[in-house]
């Protein structure tokens, strides 16, 4: 598929360009034969009358000015008439800001955002000094002044020539403007000149204008021209290094021009998107959309929001992308289909639909929409849009296996209209058609050309798809060795792509979206009768992206990184404590103050999350190598059960590796995916029956739709102890661990919680343990055992990110989320969670998604016992009573000796079988069933 459009322009691009060529310029309110022109804002003899202030804070960033001039530290906002303006204070969170105009207070509206404050006001006239005063004594100043009449006349004349297509006439006006205007006024016309040069496709002139304006005091034009040049060097004359420099210039200008700032964030998102930094592009698109909505810029808001959806789709977060896309569609009027931006939005929505269909063949086919768009773009002679949209249609037909239509559409594409990214997809489409027809030599040629184009884009995802395609080509030619090498290369790139995305930003979904090469690798290894290698490949898809977060696998931090890491965690903790303190008094506040508190705490929460992300990024800097040797069984009676779907998801494999003396024996069972996941698992277990007869301990590594299957319940009739695994490998044990336990009652509104904590504490005291009724998550000295009873919440506050916001409440600490646990990298050796859904899994994500059980394992725990869903209060109490009654029952057990991981696993297994023996009619995995709990290991 061709890449998503990334083609929406911010207001300084398409929208402004359309306005320039299709709408009359605003007439000057001071032009004609009337009074003399107002003072020239660029004239250094015209000075702003300074006001005394305790702290001079500099100028704000302005939105709504006809032009902005930054001269000797003073910012001047040019107006053609009094109109509503907005002033932005970056990074401010003041409760109030006063606005003054020429020494008198002026009414304003204050809006808050996580990145700063926006004040909207309407000045009474186009001349005057605006001051923004903070309670701290800081003052931000901007001088309002009228636009020059002569500048306005020349601008109007040049624009009229441009709209008439007389670009030479417009150029002549620009050329002579310097003789009639001051340097700053002349520079303000350069923005218009650059926009006309874009329309005339004189791209080198656009770049030259931007370079020539770098040191100009006309700061609004510096930003606009740099944005236009960045656009040119992103799309029309690709040069990512030059585009990066232009974006840096636009961002610097955005410090004073808020319109440029919003557009520059959008373009920075485009830049990141096109070089493959999708998670970073998502941050920029989200910020641009949010700030555009704040100032009421609907066009920019829509452009940024649709690119948000595109970025989410590329990250594999399809449910979020589709939800955002639906919200965009609902806001589009039915009669707005001819709007150029709306067409671009529909284009990107169709692209998201293609990605969704790649993951789910039963998703809606966007072919009809694509054909409508081709017709629309053809009518408007948008030739490059026709070519890109037709390329999308090619892939839609390939997804439907309509090879004839795909070939017809591909033959109609004018390659000269495609950018480098789209040319990669063009060659991949041609490859698929050639391969389908058996023309392997032609298919190889198309892949070679695709790789040449991919090398120019700096986007590693292109290389991933090309190597996956090389694997398919080699298999078609019967060269299994070459196919194996190619697919392993693709798998390595998929791993790199995943590790580039923070875990809490959707890494698991990224892995899910790029699983095709890995599943094709498993399939090939099965064909080659390399069963153990197939098992290792299957586990690696699910597990290896977690390795960078594993406290037991990652190398220690350097002294400098450790210092930075601790500082980030300390800042995060201080911020969370402040949030909790404010929440404690929320119940007594009036509604108006609650609204302000909600906004403030939302901003603080975002800052706290960012600190946590930075701390986690330090941990992941040097990802360790994942090794299958740590996963394979180590002693007789042990076995590992892994699984993997086929590339087209029509069947799957179950792989059992069991220890037999000095060797590991692995066998593979193929099961059709026409059955429900539970039925597939039951059929596989039945087929593996003879091999399971010698197994006493089974480690299950679930994948995707099979994550929600309770294998331990299916294996109930057999004498097999089942534990679930993240696939990271065996944890090192400490046989001389101290018998210390923290037993925490986390909720006061559940009747059985206090009883559960009391019973567990009493039993551990009987066994000689040192028991504490509280737990300190940040302590370096962690207990051997943590038993938690209370509420558990599996939340999707950041929908689709796989449970990173799931949490429990710790008395004396507050809310403890999965992301905090992972970032903290501290955990007890054994964790028992008597709390709802602390082991909840998602069968839409290849690794089951994040939950509190997984978080504790990544932070260093060797065993976590947790339920996969809501549990009954009394059932949690009775289960804990049964489990702890079993501890210490081993003959020869010494008081004060820490219970081992294997004893806890055996105790849970005993409790589950005992309950089943007493009541076989009980719902197998309902809220009152002990089978809802699973034992998890790394």
Give the CATH number of the domain where residue 106 resides: 2.60.40
Give the span between the Cα atoms of 796 and 319, in whole angstroms: 12
- Let me know if residue 59 belongs to a domain: yes
For the segment 818-826, the average pLDDT, to the nearest whole number, is 92
- DSSP annotation of 12 reads I
435 falls in which pLDDT band (50, 70, 90)? Answer: very high
CA 850, 854, 856: angle at the middle one, nearest 5? Answer: 125
747 with 842, same domain: the answer is yes
Residues forming a β-bridge with 934: 866
845 to 170, 704, 706, 708: CA distances (angstroms): 57, 5, 10, 11
For residues 671 and 643, the answer to whether their CB atoms sit within 8 Å is no
Looking at the structure, tell me whether residues 18 and 67 fall in a common domain.
no
Structural domains of the chain, count:
5
Which of 226, 272, 275 has its CA nearest to residue 458? 275
pTM of the predicted structure, to 2 decimals: 0.78
In this structure, what CATH number is given to the domain that contains residue 928? Answer: 3.40.50.1460
Same domain assignment for residues 635 and 719: yes
State the pLDDT at residue 800. 41
Boundaries of domain holding 257 = 11-31+150-276
Q: Give the pLDDT confidence of 63-102 residue by residue, as tens digits.
A: 999 999 998 879 999 998 889 999 999 988 877 899 999 9
428 domain residue, yes or no: no
Inside any domain, residue 656: yes
Measured N-to-C along each axis, helices 591-619 and 559-584 cross at an angle, to the nearest 10 degrees, of 160
Among 303-312, 331-340, 569-578, 663-672, whose mean pLDDT is lowest?
A: 331-340
> Which of 188-192, 397-401, 429-433, 849-853 has the least mean pLDDT?
188-192
Same domain, 63 and 206: no
Report the share of the chain in percent with pLDDT over 70.
Answer: 88
Longest C-alpha distance within the chain, in Å? Answer: 108
| 830, pLDDT greater than 90 | yes
Domain's final residue, options 276, 298, 319: 276
- Using the 3D structure, point to which of 698, 725, 752 is the last residue of a domain: 725
Token readout for 908 is: 């849970």
Please report the pLDDT score of residue 9 as a whole number.
28
Q: Is position 375 within any domain?
A: no
Question: Which residues is 668 bridged to in the sheet?
Answer: 655
Give the pLDDT band (50/70/90) at residue 731: low
28 pLDDT more than 80: no
Tell whether 178 and 254 lie within a shared domain.
Answer: yes
Mean pLDDT for the stretch of residues 152-170: 83
**Pair (814, 924) in one structural domain:** yes
Is residue 462 situated within a structural domain?
no
Residue range 226-276, pLDDT digits in tens: 999 999 998 888 888 899 999 999 999 999 999 999 999 999 999 998 887
Q: What is the mean pLDDT of the chain?
A: 85
- CATH code, domain with 196: 1.25.40
**Count of CA atoms in the C-beta half-sphere (13 A) of 393:** 25
Q: Output the pLDDT for position 171.
A: 83
Last residue of a domain, one of 669, 702, 725: 725
Question: What confidence tier does 771 reach under pLDDT thresholds 50, 70, 90?
Answer: very high
Give the end-to-end CA distance of the chain in Å, rounded to a whole number.
38
Question: Would you say 55 and 139 are in contact if contact means Cβ atoms under 8 Å apart?
Answer: yes
Q: Is residue 910 part of a domain?
A: yes
Do both 681 and 712 map to the same domain? yes
The model's pLDDT over 505-524, given as tens digits with 9 standing for 90+, comes to 777 877 877 788 888 999 99
pLDDT > 50? residue 904:
yes
In a domain, 162, yes or no: yes
Residue 402 lies in a domain: no
Are 140 and 154 in a shared domain? no
| Same domain assignment for residues 91 and 125 | yes
Same domain, 193 and 133: no
Let me know whether 745 and 715 are in one domain: no
Are the CB atoms for 234 and 244 separated by under 8 Å? no
- Pairwise CA distance, residues 913 & 915, whole Å: 5
- 895 and 790 in a single domain? The answer is yes
């Amino acid at each position: 598929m061709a890449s998503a459009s990334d083609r929406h322009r911010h207001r300084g691009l398409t929208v402004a360009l359309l306005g320039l060529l299709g709408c009359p310029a605003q007439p000057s309110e001071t032009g004609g034969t009337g009074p003399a022109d107002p003072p020239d804002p660029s004239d250094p003899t015209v000075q702003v009358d300074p006001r005394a202030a305790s702290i001079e804070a500099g100028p704000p960033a302005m939105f709504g000015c006809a032009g902005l001039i930054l001269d000797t530290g003073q910012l001047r906002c040019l107006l053609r008439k009094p109109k509503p303006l907005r002033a932005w204070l970056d990074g401010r969170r003041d409760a109030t800001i006063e606005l003054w105009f020429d020494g008198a207070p002026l009414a304003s509206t204050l809006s808050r955002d996580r990145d700063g404050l926006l004040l909207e006001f309407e000045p009474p006239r186009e001349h005057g000094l605006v001051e923004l005063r903070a309670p701290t004594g800081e003052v931000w100043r901007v001088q309002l002044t009228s636009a020059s009449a002569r500048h306005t006349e020349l601008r109007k004349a040049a624009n009229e020539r441009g709209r008439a297509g007389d670009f030479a006439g417009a150029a002549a006006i620009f050329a002579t403007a310097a003789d009639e205007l001051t340097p700053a006024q002349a520079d303000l016309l350069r923005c218009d000149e650059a926009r006309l040069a874009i329309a005339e496709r004189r791209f080198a002139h656009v770049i030259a204008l931007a370079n020539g304006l770098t040191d100009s005091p006309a700061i609004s034009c510096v930003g606009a021209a740099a944005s236009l040049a960045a656009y040119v060097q992103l799309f029309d004359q690709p040069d990512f290094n030059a585009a990066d420099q232009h974006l840096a210039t636009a961002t610097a200008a955005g410090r004073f021009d808020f319109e440029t700032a919003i557009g520059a964030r959008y373009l920075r998102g485009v830049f990141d998107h096109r070089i493959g930094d999708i998670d970073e592009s998502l941050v920029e698109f989200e910020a641009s959309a949010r700030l555009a909505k704040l100032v009421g810029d609907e066009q920019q808001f829509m452009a940024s929001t649709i690119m948000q959806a595109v970025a989410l789709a590329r990250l594999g977060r399809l449910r979020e992308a589709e939800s955002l896309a639906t919200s965009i569609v609902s806001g589009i009027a039915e009669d707005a289909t001819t709007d150029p931006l709306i067409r671009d939005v529909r284009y990107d929505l169709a692209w998201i639909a293609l990605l969704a269909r790649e993951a789910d063949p039963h998703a809606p086919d966007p072919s009809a929409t694509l054909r409508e768009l081709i017709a629309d773009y053809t009518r408007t002679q948008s030739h490059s849009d026709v070519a890109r949209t037709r390329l999308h249609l090619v892939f839609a037909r390939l997804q439907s296996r309509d090879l004839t239509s795909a070939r017809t559409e591909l033959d109609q594409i004018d390659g000269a209209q495609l950018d480098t990214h789209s040319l990669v997809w063009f060659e991949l489409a041609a490859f698929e058609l050639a391969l389908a027809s058996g023309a392997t030599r032609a298919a190889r040629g198309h892949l070679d050309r695709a790789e040449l184009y991919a090398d120019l884009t700096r986007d590693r995802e292109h290389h991933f798809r090309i190597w996956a395609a090389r694997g398919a080509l080699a298999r078609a030619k019967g060269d299994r060795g070459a196919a194996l090498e190619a697919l392993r290369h693709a798998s390595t790139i998929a791993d790199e792509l995943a590790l580039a995305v923070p875990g809490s930003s959707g890494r698991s979904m990224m892995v899910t979206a790029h699983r095709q090469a890995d599943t094709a690798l498993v399939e090939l290894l099965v064909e080659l009768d390399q069963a153990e290698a197939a098992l290792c490949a299957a586990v690696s898809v699910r597990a290896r992206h977690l390795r960078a977060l594993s406290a037991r696998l990652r190398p220690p931090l350097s002294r400098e990184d450790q210092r930075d890491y601790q500082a980030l965690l300390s800042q995060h903790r201080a911020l969370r404590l402040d949030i909790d303190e404010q929440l404690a008094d929320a119940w007594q506040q009036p509604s108006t103050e609650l609204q302000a508190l909600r906004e403030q705490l939302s901003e603080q929460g975002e800052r706290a999350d960012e600190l946590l992300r930075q701390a986690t990024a330090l941990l992941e800097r040097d990802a360790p190598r994942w090794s299958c040797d740590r996963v394979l069984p180590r002693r007789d009676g042990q076995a590992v059960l892994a699984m993997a779907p086929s590339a087209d998801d029509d069947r799957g494999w179950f792989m059992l590796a069991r220890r037999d003396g000095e060797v590991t024996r692995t066998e593979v069972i193929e099961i059709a995916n026409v059955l429900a996941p539970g039925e597939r698992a039951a059929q596989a277990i039945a087929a593996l029956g003879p091999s399971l007869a010698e197994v006493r301990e089974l480690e299950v590594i679930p994948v995707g739709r099979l994550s929600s299957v309770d294998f331990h319940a299916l294996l109930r009739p057999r004498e097999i102890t089942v534990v679930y695994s993240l696939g990271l490998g065996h944890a090192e044990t400490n046989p001389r661990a101290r018998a210390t336990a923290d037993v925490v009652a986390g909720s006061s509104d559940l009747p059985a919680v206090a009883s559960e904590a009391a019973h567990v504490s009493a039993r551990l005291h009987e066994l000689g343990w040192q028991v504490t009724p509280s737990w300190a998550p940040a302590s370096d000295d962690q207990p051997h055992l943590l038993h938690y009873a209370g509420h558990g919440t599996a939340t999707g506050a950041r929908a689709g990110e796989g449970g990173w916001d799931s949490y429990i409440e710790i008395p004396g600490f507050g809310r403890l989320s999965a992301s905090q646990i992972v970032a903290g990298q501290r955990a007890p050796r054994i964790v028992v969670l008597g709390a709802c859904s602390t082991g909840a899994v998602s069968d839409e994500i290849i690794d089951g998604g994040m939950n509190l059980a997984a978080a504790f394992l990544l932070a260093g725990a060797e065993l976590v016992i947790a339920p996969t869903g809501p549990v009954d209060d009394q059932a949690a109490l009775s289960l804990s009573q049964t489990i702890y009654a079993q501890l210490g029952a081993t003959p020869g057990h010494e008081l004060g000796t820490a219970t081992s991981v294997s004893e806890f696993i055996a105790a849970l297994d005993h409790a589950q079988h005992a309950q089943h023996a007493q009541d076989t009619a009980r719902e197998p995995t309902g809220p009152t069933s002990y089978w809802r709990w699973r034992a998890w290991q790394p």
